[in-house]
């Protein structure tokens, strides 16, 4: 069992090594098989572990990682219900996306194809480390690893300077969050003296923390989560991260990596339940992010940008759930979101593939008849994200809204509004892309074709998962003995009991559904036949993403640049440079002045010797007495 | 003040004077001669200290062998000129001052050492038979090793002094053969 | 005789040797000055030997003989040194037609 568990992350690592080292020699087929096969292996092992069902919170220790004084950090994995669920999502969705990639990336050169799969495998490895680690340090290793892979994959087409800039932006933004995470870990070490989950989450350890400690630690952890999971104020990197290949967006920037923050907070729920301030902050930031990103998504014309903002918005939803204490709901939404968002991204990839790289939906349209499978699966994805029953998104979103309603009515209202907006912009995207007349070039019209099976099969599987994935968490209202997910996770995450009556719950569900359907109808009426939109003031504001990037640019980047220029000019040039050059010049000058001493003539050396002998004896006999 | 003390002072003055003359003399040959005088006065000091073995060895080795070597070299190279290129005047002055400083410092430092007597004229450790006994009993290994030192110095001197060009040796050989042939001819053989 | 007189005499001879080394450019004279310095040391050693002999008295009749043997070995080394040193000077003369030590400035390079 121990070795089997170790194999889960090891397989992708081996795949990474083979693909990375042999990228110039291996044919594409072999690379694809190794890349997908290793992840499939991990998935099968995860499935076996899941089906065996003997989870335990005791960590499985492999070796001592850090052993300094009283601080002991073993390299250990913890395979309990929560991590198993994430394992299944990561390896399952990851495998589908790997298969999809073998076809999507087929146009790349052999070397770059191998590089792509090496990065992808490395990402899966890091992500698995992140969720399997039995302490914060292992989690942090994975956390940094996924950040690195995200950077590498966003900048995969590194010859395009904008893409590398996007990668840099993602990396820097993530670093800000990582700093918070790191400080939180230090704080935990300082107060508790251990980073093992089993030690930290015990009542005895938690007693050592004062309320301000808990607030500080959880706020710092949340800062880490905002970086990785793209929340206000650090969300702007995610839309730019769409510079990477579409399967990467699906895997990293929709299904897995960006949910790391949710995993981390769900994992640390024992800390967070006692931190009221932090929970309020999380809920507010989550709701605000959800609304803000949803409004921006209304007026985006890049198919991937819409999905990116939708991802940010959905992540905001999850944080809203976390802030309301509904950890199960958040994890549930992570799962369903992984299904339908991966599906939507892969569908968009299929569309982009068919349109020979065109990403602007204004130049698409009428693809319904040509891309039947893509259209159908995309449609299912849209229904799922819009929260139409009985698709998966309905159940998870409903669970979140329910807990928000319980917690705070205002937050619920924001959530509801966001749900309506979500339905609206997703169907706007769908209608503009697939309905109406074709608006691309003649060349593209001839080129448009359905994608090969390697791409459509993952779409179909994910579509099925998007339909049925929600049934693991059917609420009590519909089915006695529902909430199976909550029950499954209950050893790790204490189950929250709803205090709301069933009739209220049903009413809320009906409200959500009606609002979503109304939004869809409005979208149908407006965008069935797409015409150029006239942007009002608000539209312009939305199209430019509330000018947040510009705001950051002028508030953070420019002053720092200015500071840099000033520092460069005054401290570097006239301070440090001057000093350093001065030392150099002094040595140079001294050397030139002392050159006569090294005449090379024996006589002068003897003279110096005698003089120093005099000095030595003088010191010896007269001064040391 | 006994006769030995008077002798000491006279000898001291003589050795200092002759040592100074070594340095001052313009011609290398004079320097060598003055150095030989210095060695003789030092040998006389040895005699005064009743170190007769060393006195004899000093004369044989230094005044005899070594100084003769010096003279040979000077004469072989025909260096008996008084036109030695002079050092920079300042450097000379500085050298002299530095040496003088050393003397002053050392004398000042050792001025108030304990006054202890050195045995003059008596005591027989310096006699050949006593020194020889010690030398060949306790110091026989260093003594033998010194012979190796001599051997290596000899080899070294030959190697360094040899003309680097091997052709020269051959020419010399040819020259000798030619001369032999000429001599035979003249003798009518 | 007071040992200090021997010390001062030796020092004076030694310093004269040093001054010779510092002020002369003729390699042979420099070399002779070095011999002078060696002799100054020898004289001092012998004087010390006799001083120790007197101090030890009848208790140790061979006291001080080591110093005289030391002088003997110094002479040995000096003789070897002279033979090699003069060979070097001869070679120097052969190559440069001068015995000026200022030509020996290859250490600069």
For B33-81, give the DSSP string.
Answer: HHHHHHHHHHHHHHHHTT-HHHHHHIIIIIIIIIHHHHHHHHHHTT---
**Interchain contact C97–A (C-beta under 8 A):** no
Asked if the Cβ–Cβ distance from A611 to B98 is below 8 Å, we say yes
Q: Which range is least confidently modeled, A16-30, A353-367, B143-157?
A: A353-367
A622 contact residues in B (CB cutoff 8 A): 108-109
Residues B111 and B147 reside in one and the same domain: no
Helix (H) or strand (E) holding A67: strand A60-68
Mention every residue, 6+ apart, whose C-beta is less than 8 A from residue A4: A45, A48, A49
Contacts of A607 in chain C (CB under 8 A): 22
Q: How far apart are CA B23 and CA B99, in angstroms?
A: 13
d(CA C74, CA C81): 10
Q: Which of C27, C80, C95 to mutate to test the interface with B (most CBs of B within 10 A)?
A: C80
pLDDT, one tens digit for every residue, chain C (109 residues)? 788 899 999 999 999 999 999 888 888 888 899 999 999 999 999 999 988 888 887 778 788 888 899 999 999 999 999 999 988 888 888 877 777 777 766 655 5
Q: How confident is the model at residue B164 (pLDDT cuts 50, 70, 90)?
A: low
Q: What range defines the domain where residue A188 resides?
A: 159-551
Chain A: residue nearest C103 by CA?
A: A601
Q: B131 with B162, same domain?
A: no
- Whether residue A257 is found in the same domain as residue A385: yes
**Top-confidence range, A190-204, A556-570, B5-19:** B5-19
Are A273 and A254 contained in the same domain? Answer: yes
Give me the pLDDT at residue A86, please: 92
Residues of chain C with C-beta less than 8 angstroms from the C-beta of B87: 23-25
Domain containing residue B32: 3-138
Judgement on whether residues B70 and B161 belong to the same structural domain of the protein: no
Q: How many CB atoms lie within 10 A of CB A66?
A: 12
Residues A572 and A523 in one domain: no
Do residues A601 and A475 both lie within one domain?
no
Interface test with A, best of B84, B88, B104, B105 (most A CBs within 10 A): B105
A464 & A601 share domain: no
> Do B118 and C9 make contact, defined as CB atoms within 8 angstroms?
no
> Residue A607: which of B98, B105, B109 has the nearest Cβ?
B98
Domain co-membership, A556 together with A474: no
Taking an 8 Å Cβ-Cβ cutoff, which residues of chain A contact chain C? 598-603, 605-607, 610
DSSP structure string for A492-558 = TSPPPPP-S-HHHHHHHHHHHHHHHHHHHHHHHHHHSS--PPPP-HHHHHHHTGGGHHHHHIIIIIH
Number of helices (H), then strands (E), belonging to chain C: the values are: 3, 0
Same domain, A584 and A445: no
Nearest chain C residue to B44 by CA: give it.
C43
CB-nearest partner of C28 from B79, B85, B87: B79
Query: Where among B138, B166, B181 does a domain terminate?
Result: B138
Do residue B70 and residue C32 have CB atoms under 8 angstroms apart? yes
Of A546, A457, A603, the residue nearest A235 (C-alpha): A546
Residues B85 and B39 reside in one and the same domain: yes
What are the chain B neighbours of C99 within 8 Å (beta carbons)?
Answer: 77, 79
Percent of chain B at pLDDT > 70 equals: 82
Tally Cβ neighbours within 10 Å of residue A273: 16
User: Which of A603, A611, A617 faces B109 most closely, judged by CB atoms?
Assistant: A617
Do B133 and B93 sit in the same domain of this protein? yes
Strand partners, A133: A77
Q: Which of A526, A551, A576 is the last residue of a domain?
A: A551
Q: Does A494 map to a domain?
A: yes
Q: Is B78 left (phi over 0), alpha (psi -120 to 50) or beta?
A: left
Cα angle: A342, vertex A343, A344; to 5 degrees: 90
Is residue A119 in some structural domain? Answer: no
Does B172 have pLDDT greater than 60?
Answer: no
The residue in chain C having the minimum alpha-carbon distance to the alpha carbon of residue A599 is: C108
Are C107 and A603 an interchain contact pair (Cβ–Cβ within 8 Å)? no
pLDDT in tens, B43-92: 999 998 888 899 999 999 888 888 888 888 888 887 666 555 665 778 78
Q: Answer yes or no: is pLDDT of A587 > 80.
A: yes
Task: Decide: residue C75, CB within 10 A, 0-12 exposed, 13-18 middle, 19+ buried.
Answer: buried
Q: Identify whether residues A370 and A252 lie together within a single domain.
A: yes
Give the closest-approach CA distance of C19 to chain B in angstroms.
Answer: 5
Quote the number of domains for chain B.
2
Using the 3D structure, point to which of A525, A551, A577 is the last residue of a domain. A551
C89 and A CB contact within 8 Å: no
State the smallest CA–CA distance between residue A598 and chain B in angstroms. Answer: 15
The ipTM (two decimal places) reads 0.90
DSSP characters for A189-258? HHHHS--BHHHHTSHHHHHHS-HHHHHHHHHHHHHHHHHHTT-TTS-THHHHGGGS-HHHHHIIIIISGG
Same domain as A427, residue A410:
yes
Domain end (from A495, A528, A551): A551
CATH number at residue B77: 1.20.120.1200
How many other C-beta atoms are found inside a 10 Å radius of the C-beta of residue B172? Answer: 11
Q: How far apart are CA A396 and CA A317, in angstroms?
A: 10
pLDDT band at A310 (very low <50, low <70, confident <90, very high): very high
CB contact under 8 A, C90 and B76: yes
User: Does B165 share its domain with B103?
Assistant: no
Hey, what are C17's tokens?
């040797």
Q: Name the percent of chain B lying above pLDDT 90.
A: 31
Residue-wise pLDDT tens digits, A164-186? 999 999 999 899 999 999 999 99
- Specify whether A319 is located in the same domain as A203: yes
Q: How many domains does chain A have?
A: 2
Mark which residues 29-68 of C lie under 8 Å from A by CB.
Answer: none
Residues 22-41 of C with CB under 8 A from B: 22-26, 28-29, 31-33, 35-36, 39
Residues 6+ apart with CB under 8 A from A332: A395, A396, A399, A472, A473, A485, A486
Please tell me the distance in Å from B90's CA to the nearest CA on chain A. 12
- DSSP class of A567: I
What is the rounded average pLDDT of the residues A26-35? 89
**Are A614 and B98 in contact (CB < 8 Å)?**
yes
Same domain, A421 and A559: no
The topology under which CATH files domain C3-108 is: Helix Hairpins (1.10.287)
Same domain for B60 and B103, yes or no, is yes
B vs C, Cβ pairs < 8 A, gives: 240
Which chains lie within 8 Å of chain B at 3 or more CB pairs, if any?
A: A, C
Residues of B in contact with A620 (CB under 8 A): 109
Of A95, A80, A118, the residue nearest A41 (C-alpha)? A95
Which whole-number Å values give the CA distances from C72 to B3, B52, B126, B162, C96, in the listed order?
A: 28, 12, 11, 30, 36
Query: Would the pLDDT of A44 be above 90?
Result: yes
Q: Are A6 and A76 contacting, i.e. CB atoms less than 8 angstroms apart?
A: no
DSSP A145-160: HHHHHHHHHHTSSTTS
For chains A and B, what is the number of CB pairs under 8 angstroms?
A: 30
Q: Is residue A564 part of a domain?
A: yes
The shortest CB-CB distance from C28 to any of B28, B66, B142 is to B28
């Amino acid at each position: 069992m121990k070795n089997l568990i170790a194999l889960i992350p090891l397989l992708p690592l081996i795949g990474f090594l083979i693909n990375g080292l042999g990228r110039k020699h291996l044919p594409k087929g072999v690379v694809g098989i190794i890349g997908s096969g290793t992840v499939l292996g991990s998935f099968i092992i995860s499935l076996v572990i899941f089906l065996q069902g003997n989870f335990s919170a005791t960590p499985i220790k492999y070796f001592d990682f850090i052993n300094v004084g009283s601080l002991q950090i073993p390299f250990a994995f913890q395979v309990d219900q929560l991590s198993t669920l994430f394992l299944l999502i990561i390896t399952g969705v990851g495998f589908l996306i790997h298969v999809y990639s073998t076809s999507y990336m087929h146009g790349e050169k052999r070397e770059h194809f191998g590089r792509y799969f090496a990065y992808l495998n490395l990402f899966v490895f890091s992500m698995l480390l992140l969720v399997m680690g039995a302490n914060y340090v292992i989690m942090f290793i994975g956390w940094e690893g996924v950040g690195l892979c995200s950077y590498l994959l966003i900048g995969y087409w590194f010859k395009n300077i904008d893409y590398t800039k996007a990668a840099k932006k993602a990396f820097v933004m993530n670093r800000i969050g990582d700093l918070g995470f790191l400080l939180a870990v230090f704080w935990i070490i300082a107060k508790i003296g251990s980073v093992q989950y089993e030690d930290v989450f015990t009542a005895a350890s938690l007693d050592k923390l004062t309320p301000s400690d808990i607030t500080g630690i959880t706020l710092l952890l949340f800062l880490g989560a905002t970086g990785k999971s793209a929340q206000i104020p650090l969300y702007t990197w995610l839309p730019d991260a769409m510079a990477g290949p579409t399967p990467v967006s699906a895997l990293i920037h929709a299904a897995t990596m960006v949910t790391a923050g949710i995993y981390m907070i769900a994992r640390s729920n024992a800390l967070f339940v006692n931190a009221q301030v932090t929970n309020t902050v999380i809920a507010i930031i989550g709701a605000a992010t959800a609304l803000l990103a949803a409004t921006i998504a209304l007026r985006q014309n890049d198919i991937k940008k819409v999905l990116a903002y939708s991802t940010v918005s959905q992540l905001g939803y999850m944080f809203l759930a976390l802030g309301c204490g509904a950890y199960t709901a958040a994890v549930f939404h992570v799962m369903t979101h992984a299904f339908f968002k991966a599906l939507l991204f892969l569908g968009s990839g299929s569309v982009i593939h068919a349109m020979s790289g065109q990403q602007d939906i204004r130049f698409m349209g009428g693809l319904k008849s040509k891309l039947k499978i893509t259209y159908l699966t995309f449609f299912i994805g849209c229904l799922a994200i819009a929260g139409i029953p009985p698709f998966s998104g309905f159940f998870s979103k409903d669970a979140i809204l329910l807990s928000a309603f319980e917690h705070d009515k205002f937050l619920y209202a924001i959530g509801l509004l966001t749900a309506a907006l979500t339905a609206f912009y997703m169907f706007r995207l769908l209608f503009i892309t697939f309905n109406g007349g074709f608006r691309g070039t003649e060349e593209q019209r001839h080129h448009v074709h359905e994608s090969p099976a390697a791409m459509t099969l993952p779409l179909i599987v994910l579509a099925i998962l998007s339909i049925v994935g929600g049934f693991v968490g059917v609420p009590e209202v519909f089915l006695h003995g529902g909430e199976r997910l909550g029950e499954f996770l209950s050893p790790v995450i204490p189950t929250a009991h709803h205090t709301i009556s069933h009739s209220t719950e049903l009413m809320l569900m009906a409200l959500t559904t009606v609002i979503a359907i109304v939004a869809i109808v409005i979208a149908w009426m407006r965008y069935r036949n797409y015409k150029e939109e006239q942007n009002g003031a608000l539209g312009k504001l939305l199209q430019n993403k509330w000018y947040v990037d510009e705001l950051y640019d002028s508030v953070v980047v420019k002053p720092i640049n200015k500071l840099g220029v000033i520092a460069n000019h005054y401290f570097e040039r006239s301070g440090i440079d001057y000093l350093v050059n001065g030392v150099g010049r002094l040595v140079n000058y001294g050397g030139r002045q002392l050159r006569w001493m090294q005449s090379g003539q024996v006589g002068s050396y003897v003279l110096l010797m005698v003089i120093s002998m005099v000095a030595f004896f003088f010191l010896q006999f007269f001064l040391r007495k | 003040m006994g006769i030995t003390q008077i002798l000491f002072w006279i000898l001291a003055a003589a050795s200092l004077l002759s040592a100074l003359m070594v340095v001052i003399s313009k011609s290398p040959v004079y320097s060598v001669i003055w150095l030989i005088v210095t060695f003789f006065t030092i040998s006389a000091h040895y005699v005064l200290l009743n170190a007769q073995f060393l006195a004899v060895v000093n004369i044989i080795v230094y005044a005899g062998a070594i100084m003769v070597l010096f003279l040979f070299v000077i004469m072989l190279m025909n260096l008996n000129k008084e036109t030695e290129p002079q050092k920079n005047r300042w450097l000379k002055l500085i050298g002299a001052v530095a040496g003088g400083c050393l003397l002053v410092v050392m004398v000042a430092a050792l001025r108030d050492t304990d006054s202890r007597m050195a045995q003059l004229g008596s005591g027989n450790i310096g006699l050949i038979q006593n020194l020889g006994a010690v030398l060949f009993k306790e110091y026989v290994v260093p003594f033998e090793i010194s012979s190796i030192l001599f051997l290596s110095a000899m080899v070294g001197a030959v190697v360094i002094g040899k003309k680097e060009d091997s052709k020269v040796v051959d020419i010399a050989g040819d020259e000798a053969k030619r001369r032999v042939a000429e001599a035979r001819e003249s003798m009518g053989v | 005789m007071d040992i200090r007189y021997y010390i001062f005499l030796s020092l004076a001879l030694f310093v004269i040797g040093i001054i010779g080394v510092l002020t002369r450019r003729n390699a042979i004279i420099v070399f002779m000055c070095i011999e002078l310095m060696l002799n100054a040391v020898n004289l001092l050693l012998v004087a010390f030997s006799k001083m120790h002999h007197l101090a030890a008295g009848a208790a140790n009749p061979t006291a001080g003989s080591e110093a005289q043997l030391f002088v003997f070995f110094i002479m040995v080394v000096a003789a070897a040194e002279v033979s090699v040193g003069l060979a070097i000077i001869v070679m120097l003369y052969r190559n440069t037609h001068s015995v000026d030590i200022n030509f020996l400035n290859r250490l600069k390079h």
